Amino acid sequence: MKRLGLAGAAAAIVAAAGAAFIVRGLPPRPVTTVMASAAHAAEPGAPIYFQDPDGKPFYSLTPKTTPDGRAYRAVPAGADLSFDEPAAEMPAAAATDQRKAERKIKYYRNPMGLPDTSPVPKKDSMGMDYIAVYEGDDSDDGSIRLSPGKIQRTGVTSARVTRQPIRSVIRAPGTVQEDERRVSVVALRFEGFVESVANVTTGDHVHKGQPLMTIYSPALSSAAAEYLSAINAGATGKELKGARRRLENLATPEPAIKELERTKDISLSISWLAPQDGEILERNAVNGMRAGPGDVLFRIADHTLLWVVIDVAERDLMQVALGSKVTIRPRALAGRSFAGVVSLIYPHLNMQTRTARIRVEVPNPDELLRPQMYVDAEIDTGAPAPVLAVPESAVLDSGTRQAVLVDKGEGRFEPRAVKLGRHGGGYVEVTEGISEGDAVVTSANFLIDAESNLKAALKGFSEPGGAKPMEMPANAGARP
């Protein structure tokens, strides 16, 4: 793009303004008015024209508003490369010519981008001059150089490669289940009868040692009589211990044994106690019923610690590790969340859903969580140690290889292949290809990549034996 002086800018604006009035069918403004507006725009710091606030191709030499009342945006001279001031020591065109004269022309390339070069100046079939390629513009290190104007127009931005933790969240559904280790049953080890059942029902919360029922059994009475005889006979040592062990083997509650030792009296029935705190899940005991060995009379579960079983997709399984933190959000408890950690990764996959089961232990002191609840889980994955990372937008991924564009300064960019690791939080880990402190392009990198592909193709045609169109250099951009 050629740079215009302020006087040239004013003339250009006059011509553009006149053309705009003719195209829109408006009567042309007096030339003196247009020249005055252009001269005022050329003053340092003053707007040179006004542009539509939405970026549409509508312009005005004077302040203007849109049909909906919004003001046009003022464009000063410094905001448009066409109106940059030339260097004070020499005109911009002369400075450009001097810089070009100091460098040697390597060859001339086709102005339409065709794979055709010439060692001498020439014109194409349409009469257009071939474009000179100078030394330094066509380096052998695979980099591409862009002018400052092109960098500004394409919106190229770069970011430094830094070390930071890469963490991502895996979201998956799950269900609440009981902790198998906190479920117990109340059953007899002998033949007996349930004389009476306490006032407890399914769903009630009971405490350890709370009476559940009274039991009568000839076997239990016989063992109690044998132990009492050993006490009365003054037996000591193994004989007394053996008699007591028989009562313990019948699961006789400890308070009942101590009561027998204190009163020296055998009760016809014994109170049977709850073995733990928890909710009664099942009650099968009925007044007067006969109970055999192993019959389940009560089933009790402690819900202060529950399991959450999560179905994680097969592709995400490798990111989950034992001890990973998990946030549980029950669908029935809006706004409530619970924290837990991964305690087990089940060894098998579900063949139909291609998911793996992850078990999370979740404290439930208030017992708000209930078995079989549906929950949404967020598994925090990644290592806390910082790793080399770049923004995800900096990576050019062709599917078979990944690359980034390294900003080497002074408008030069170099494509470089990289190997990637974890993704998370808008960043991706880079395990190979770049170093900490390198600057990589984070926006407009596809445009630079396309320019790099074109340059590599032209270079291949200009070199001896390089006219094979399928032999693309390895440092061409990552995308076709």
- State phi, psi for 47 to the nearest 5 degrees: -65, 140
Domain 144-165+386-462 sits in CATH at: 2.40.420.20
Question: What's the fold here for domain 189-293?
Answer: OB fold (Dihydrolipoamide Acetyltransferase, E2P) (2.40.50)
Q: What is the mean pLDDT of residues 366-371?
A: 92
**Which DSSP helix (H) or strand (E) runs through 92?**
helix 92-102
Q: Given a cut of 80, is residue 410 above it in pLDDT?
A: no
pTM of the model: 0.55
Q: List the one residue out of 326, 280, 324 whose CA is nearest residue 303.
A: 280
What does the pLDDT read at residue 277?
A: 95
CB–CB of 333/386 below 8 Å?
no
- β-pairing, 402-409 with 168-178? unpaired
- State phi, psi for 215 to the nearest 5 degrees: -120, 135
Distance CA 319, CA 169 (A): 10
Task: Let me know how long the chain is.
Answer: 480
Does residue 115 or residue 402 have the better pLDDT? Answer: 402
Amino acid present at 398: S
Q: Given a cut of 60, is residue 86 above it in pLDDT?
A: no
Domain ranges in the chain with CATH number 2.40.50.100: 189-293
pLDDT tens per residue across span 27-84: 444 433 444 444 444 445 677 788 888 877 788 888 989 888 889 888 886 665 444 4
Q: List the one residue out of 417, 414, 418 whose CA is nearest residue 452.
A: 414
What does the pLDDT read at residue 212?
A: 96
At residue 138 the predicted structure's pLDDT band, cuts being 50, 70 and 90, is: low
Q: What is the mean pLDDT of the chain?
A: 79
Domain ranges in the chain with CATH number 2.40.420.20: 144-165+386-462
pLDDT tens per residue across span 183-194: 999 999 999 999
3-state secondary structure of 147: coil
Is it true that domain 170-179+303-381 has CATH number 2.40.30.170?
yes
What does the pLDDT read at residue 109?
A: 79
Q: Given a cut of 60, is residue 309 above it in pLDDT?
A: yes
At residue 414 the predicted structure's pLDDT band, cuts being 50, 70 and 90, is: confident
**Quick one: what percent of the chain has pLDDT higher than 90?**
36
Q: What is the mean pLDDT of residues 233-254?
A: 89
Find how far residue 382's CA is from the centre of its chain. 10
**Which of the 8 DSSP states describes residue 435?**
-
What does the pLDDT read at residue 56?
A: 77
Does residue 208 or residue 124 have the better pLDDT? Answer: 208
Burial (Cβ within 10 Å: 0-12, 13-18, ≥19) of residue 212: buried
pLDDT tens per residue across span 427-473: 888 888 888 888 888 887 666 666 656 555 555 555 544 444 434 34
Domain ranges in the chain with CATH number 2.40.30.170: 170-179+303-381
**Which of the 8 DSSP states describes residue 72?**
P
